[in-house]
Amino acid sequence: MIQSVIEKMKDVPGGKRACHLVGTIALVMSDRTLHTRWAQIDGIVAQEPTKKRIEGFPYRSFFYLPQFKKFYLELTDEEHEQINHRKIALLKLRPYLLELVNK
């Protein structure tokens, strides 16, 4: 999969290699009310992937984050915590959840 993405994008110039990881969380209530929140991490598809791999997460090998000057899989736990799109999406839902609890 990694080589397939790199190959398909080989002629795409640097300024047009933007990509995003998007996380969405959905909560469906018993009355069928749907609440969704989302967050995204912005990066670029690198010209060449890092040699390091994490099984089950191939995109992390070529998803480059300019603000950290690192590939996604090279982030420290602290750096990952700053941009964790799943956590951010859940935090966006938190006010609604707190409202439910406090009713």
42, amino acid identity: D
Per-residue tokens: 57: 């997460």
Q: Show pLDDT as tens, one digit a residue, over the chain (103 residues).
A: 778 888 888 899 888 999 999 999 999 999 999 999 999 999 999 998 888 888 888 888 899 999 999 999 999 999 999 999 999 999 999 998 898 888 7
- The predicted model scores a pTM of 0.81
Residue 37: beta bridge partners? 25
Number of independent structural domains in the chain: 1
Tell me whether strands 70-71 and 34-45 are parallel, antiparallel or unpaired. unpaired
Give the CATH number, domain containing residue 36.
3.90.950.10
Q: Work out the burial of residue 38: count CB atoms within 10 Å of its CB; fewer than 13 is exposed, 13-18 middle, 19 or more buried.
A: middle
Q: What are phi and psi of 44, to 5 degrees?
A: -135, 155
Domain range for residue 38? Answer: 2-101
At residue 103, the pLDDT reads: 74
- Is residue 40 within 8 A of residue 20, CB to CB? The reply is yes
At residue 39, the pLDDT reads: 97
